């Protein structure tokens, strides 16, 4: 099979001579594009970059290079509590008495008009305000005091107002006098030595633990005592378990064990007699020595079994006890 390569037309190739047919059925309908796509794109871009919600204003007036930032050029930033406004409170104007108003009425209404004007005018002037609160301590005709400073009543010196020289002088004057160290003269020429470091004062004798066994020694003794008790307890239970698990050896088993040991001894003795008398290398010497050790062990076990009639065997430890 031949493979058609996508090569440009300006290159010389044999495959360019073949006419390429395009299938019209493989092409689909044109892609739908809305006529409002450009408008929506521009509107979204303006809403995203024009609101300046994330990065701020893109262009800001900058200071010229001649007016660069200098030390202490900005105004100091201080955080102060909000000031309490001074409000002057006064009593409401008194209500006119109806009896007095009737007696003072004249034929001419000029005087009554003047009196009514005087009554309508507040007694404290235009600055005064009439409160609506009924609490007597608020509605009194006095000015409320200012909020005291936070340093008042606590003997606190404000920051930046402390005189360190004066405070150091007062501290030095109030400081108790330093007691001189105890010393003694131990030489005619006036050589002095401190009394506490010389070893003459009996300081250790007056301690509470003087003459007592140290605590760490008592702890070591207690640990040794506990270990000894634990060892005795374990040995006691071990002996009891052994006594419960041992059994006496039957005479038939006793005799069969002796016969088996004697048979093994005869086999080892025959092997021993087969060795040559000339031991000319190290291997022969080692083999002969091993056989001799095995014969001695078998002879010892045979003598031990023949000497004792009552033997107790333990199943767990695989050992026997003689009686």
pLDDT in tens, the chain (323 residues): 455 555 555 667 888 888 877 776 667 788 899 999 999 988 887 776 555 555 655 566 777 888 887 777 766 655 555 555 555 544 555 655 555 555 444 444 444 444 444 444 444 444 444 444 444 444 445 667 777 766 566 566 666 678 889 999 999 999 998 888 888 898 888 889 888 888 888 888 888 888 899 999 999 999 999 999 999 999 998 888 777 777 888 889 889 999 999 999 999 999 999 988 888 889 999 999 999 999 999 999 999 999 988 888 776 555 544 44
Residue 124's Cβ-count burial label (10 Å; 0-12, 13-18, 19+) is middle
Q: Comparing C-alpha atoms, which of 234, 301, 218 is closest to residue 265?
A: 301
| 321, 314 contact by CB (below 8 A) | yes
Q: Is residue 273 part of a domain?
A: yes
**Rounded-to-integer distance, Cα 207 and Cα 44, Å:** 89
How much is the pLDDT for 206?
86
Domains of the chain: total: 1
- Residue 297, in any domain of the structure: yes
Residue 123, number of CB atoms within 10 A of its CB: 13
Q: Are 305 and 256 within 8 A, CB to CB?
A: no
Q: How far apart are CA 242 and CA 314, in angstroms?
A: 7
Position 118 in a domain = no
Is 307 within the bounds of a domain? yes
Q: Is residue 309 part of a domain?
A: yes
Output the pLDDT for position 36. Answer: 92
Angstrom distance (rounded) from CA 245 to CA 317: 10
Helix residue ranges per DSSP H, the chain: 37-49, 98-103, 110-120, 164-174, 195-198, 215-245, 251-273, 282-307
> Does residue 127 fall inside a structural domain?
no
DSSP 88: B
136 in a structural domain = no
Residue found under tokens 């207690």: 222
In the block, tokens 């767990």 appear at 316
pLDDT at position 276? 86
Is the full-model pTM beyond 0.75?
A: no
Tokens standing for 311? 């033997």
Structural domain boundaries enclosing 291 = 249-322
199/95 Cα distance (integer angstroms): 98
- Please report, for the chain, how many H helices and E strands are present, in that order: 8, 5
Beta bridge partners of 193: 184
Tokens linked to 35: 């006529």
Is 141 within a domain? Answer: no
- Tell me the chain's radius of gyration from C-alpha atoms: 61
């Amino acid at each position: 099979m031949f493979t058609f390569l996508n090569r440009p037309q300006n290159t010389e190739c044999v495959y360019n001579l073949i006419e390429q047919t395009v299938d019209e059925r493989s092409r689909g309908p044109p892609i739908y594009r809305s006529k409002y796509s450009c408008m929506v794109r521009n509107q979204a871009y303006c809403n995203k970059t024009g609101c300046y919600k994330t990065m701020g204003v893109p262009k800001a007036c900058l200071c010229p290079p001649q007016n660069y930032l200098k030390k202490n050029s900005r105004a100091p930033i201080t955080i102060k509590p909000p000031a309490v406004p001074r409000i002057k409170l006064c009593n409401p104007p008194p209500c006119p008495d109806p009896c007095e108003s009737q007696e003072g009425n004249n034929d001419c209404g000029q005087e009554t008009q003047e009196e009514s004007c005087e009554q309508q005018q507040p007694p404290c002037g235009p600055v005064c305000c009439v409160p609506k609160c009924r609490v007597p301590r608020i509605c009194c005709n006095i000015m409320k005091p200012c909020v005291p400073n936070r340093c008042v009543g606590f003997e606190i010196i404000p920051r930046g107002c402390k005189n360190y020289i004066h405070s150091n002088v007062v501290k030095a004057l109030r400081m108790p006098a330093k007691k001189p160290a105890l010393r003694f003269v131990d030489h005619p020429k006036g050589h002095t030595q401190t009394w506490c470091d010389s070893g003459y004062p009996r300081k250790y004798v007056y301690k509470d633990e003087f003459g007592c066994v140290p605590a760490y020694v008592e702890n070591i003794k207690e640990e040794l005592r506990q270990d000894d008790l634990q060892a005795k307890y374990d040995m006691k239970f071990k002996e009891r378990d052994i006594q419960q698990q041992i059994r006496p050896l039957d005479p038939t088993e006793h005799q069969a064990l002796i016969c088996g040991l004697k048979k093994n001894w005869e086999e080892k003795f025959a092997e021993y007699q087969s060795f040559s008398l000339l031991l000319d290398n190290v291997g022969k010497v080692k083999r002969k020595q091993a056989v001799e050790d095995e014969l001695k062990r078998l002879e010892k076990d045979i003598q031990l079994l023949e000497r004792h009639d009552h033997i107790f065997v333990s199943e767990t430890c695989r050992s026997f006890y003689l009686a």
